[in-house]
Structure 1
Amino acid sequence: MPTNATPGRLSGCYVISLRPVGGHDAIRRAAARHGARTLALSPWRLETHGDRATRAALRAALAAPRVLFTSPAAVTAAARLRALRIGKAQTFVAVGAGTALALRRAGVATVDAPQRMDSEGLLALPSLASVRGLDIGLVTAPGGRGVIAATLAGRGARVLRANVYARVAIAPPPRAVAALRALDAPAWLLASSGEALEHIVARLPDDALAVLRRAHVVAASERLATLARGLGLRVAAVASSARPAAMLDAACAGAAAKP
């Protein structure tokens, strides 16, 4: 997606990515376009569930009139287990643009997604408004976004949950911690997951955490900005979405606003 930010605005800076193990490439590319290097600080790795119970739960979820995917990782994991094909009377829903793109790449041509890419924006979609008595498939992972299932159930829907992958927590990689300790350049921490942020803050050694707290945080939503402040982090900007390009554009705008 085109960006309006000035190329090289983050030259000499670091971007700290909290994406899962193996999931930092899009951040690296977006950061490099603005002259920044990336420090990968993964809080977990992703593990697809492929047991019989998971496959049965996914089959039921994919047969529902509404099928809701909570992340690109949920789409990827589901597509590994079963072809994603939308029926005539179905609506496939994505939590945001990244998830919608993953669905289209998996062969789903029509996807409903909110402009505001968070749980609140998702739940405001007309397709999820009048759902009393309706089955809704929720393709997701354990933990996270609990508000979605609870709100839909509160509206009278029957939520058919398929936990197709899991976030397996890991200790902060020693090399990444050492790089964080040694950081001597301005840093922008991209916060797109509250769980990831809480996990890293809880697991970092005190001296490395002190460096992280000096970083400028770009939050993917106001909710995440509030969470980051509560964890003692410095929020410099709120992005329009969790997409790497949007997060880096917000960092560039924040850098431009600094004296």
Structure 2
Amino acid sequence: MISLRARGEHAPLRAAAAKAGAGLIAISPWRLLLRDDAATRERLREALAAPRVVFTSPVAVRAARRLQPLRTLDGQRWFAVGAGTAMALRRAGVAGVDAPQRMDSEGLLSLPGLAELHGQDVGFVTAPGGRGVLVPALEARGARVIRADVYEREAVTLSPRPLARLAELDAPAKLALSSAQALQLVMDALPEPLRDRLRRTQAIAASERLAELARAQGFTDIVLARSARPADLIEAAARPSTK
């Protein structure tokens, strides 16, 4: 299994792969930097006071929780893009969280609680560059989006060790694909021979949107997972190829 995640974020997928008897090549195109400044704290305070609050990732929950306690106010509704984010919110003390069965931006937008937003404030806790479709879609429904970017992704040079392992692969491999930005950064940074080698893997896409992106990047063997959770990616990787 090949993982494209931030530095320090490969452990859950590594553990799931090991449980299934597989190894992991961890390629990190960025590192995560949790923000801690007065402007971010104020923006987060405003976002968390909105009648509806959306979190886009477990990292957003972790970063926000470092800045202030997460507590539901009377009449509020909290939303998570997927089950992992919802679980992180519950662990942080938020009891009622709505999350879609289809764990992506389109699934979140299909939730009834985000359908009628005219004149409503929506807190949006995220990072720059992620979930680009959500804010315009919420605004198109009449929401005033209060965006709090509580962490950021800093691009880093790809480590040579995992690239050497990728170059030496002589057996079928699976690519766990849970981030469009990660795939784009890696494909842009790899030399052409390694791009070709990566394209020959089976892409395990965490959403239809990611599957479409993989096809656009030249992948031909693509399997759709139920979500970006490690267990779901590993389950999808175990299915027979339909190529």
| Alignment TM class, shorter chain as reference | over 0.9
The separation in 2 between residues aligned to 1:217 and 1:254, in whole angstroms, is: 13
Q: Which amino acid aligns with 1:140?
A: T
Separation in structure 2 between the aligned mates of residue 39 and residue 187 of structure 1, nearest angstrom: 10
Tell me which residue corresponds to 1:114: 100
Distance 2:184 2:221 in 1: 15
Partner Cα distance (1:128, 1:236) in 2: 31
1:44 alignment partner AA: W
- Local SS of the residue matching 1:253: coil
Whole-angstrom distance in 1 between the partners of 2:67 and 2:45: 10
| SS at structure 1 position matched to 2:188 | helix
Deviation at 1:231, TM superposition (A): 0.5
Cα distance in 2, alignment partners of residues 139 and 235 from structure 1: 34
**Partner Cα separation in structure 1 for residue 127 and residue 207 of structure 2:** 21
1:37 aligns to what SS in structure 2?
coil
Amino acid at match of 1:221: S
Q: Distance in 1 between matches of 2:22 and 2:154?
A: 29
CA distance in 2, matches of 1:205, 1:126: 45
CA deviation digits over 1:109-164, x for unaligned, max 9?
A: 11110111111110010110111111000000001212111011111110000000
For the residues of structure 1 that align with 2:73 and 2:30, how far apart are their CA atoms? 34
Give yes or no for contact 1:191–1:197 (8 Å, CA) kept in 2: yes
2:159 match: 173
Whether 1:247 and 2:233 are equivalent positions in the alignment is yes
C-alpha deviation, 1:166, in angstroms:
0.2
1:192 aligns with 2:200: no
Equivalent residue number for residue 46 of structure 2:
60
* Equivalent pair of 1:54/1:164 in contact (CA under 8 Å): yes
The answer on 1:71 being equivalent to 2:71 is no
Whole-Å separation in 1 of the counterparts to 2:43 and 2:182? 26
Q: Supply the AA of the counterpart residue of 2:86.
A: A
Write the mapping of 1:104-183 to structure 2, written as runs, cut at 5 A: 104-183=90-169
Report how far residue 184 of structure 1 moved: 2.1
Unaligned stretches of 5+ in structure 1? 1-14
Equivalence for 1:5: none
Tell me by how many angstroms 1:207 deviates: 2.2
Match of 2:196 among 192, 205, 210: 210
Runs of 4+ in 1 over 3 A off after TM superposition: none
Q: CA deviation at 1:18?
A: 0.7
Is it true that 1:17 corresponds to 2:3 in the alignment?
Answer: yes
Equivalent position amino acid for 1:148 in 2: L
- Which amino acid counterpart does residue 245 of structure 1 have in structure 2? A
Does structure 2 conserve the Cα–Cα contact (< 8 Å) formed by 1:225 and 1:235?
Answer: no
**TM-score under structure 1 length normalisation:** 0.91
User: Number of matched residues?
Assistant: 243
Pick which of 181-190 and 136-145 moved more.
181-190
Per the alignment, residue 3 of structure 1 pairs with none
Contact 1:237 1:254 in 2 (8 A): no
Separation of aligned partners in 1, 2:220 and 2:62: 33
State the alpha-carbon separation in 2 of the partners of residues 115 and 233 from structure 1: 26
C-alpha RMSD over aligned residues: 1.2
- Work out the percentage of aligned pairs sharing the same amino acid: 57
Is the 1:228–1:235 contact (alpha carbons within 8 Å) kept by the matching residues of 2?
Answer: no
Aligned-pair distance for 1:213? 1.4
**Alignment correspondent of 2:73:** 87
The offset of 1:235, in angstroms, is: 3.0
Aligned residue for 1:30? 16
Counterpart code for 2:16: A
Cα offset, 1:177, TM superposition: 1.0
1:234: Cα distance to partner?
2.9
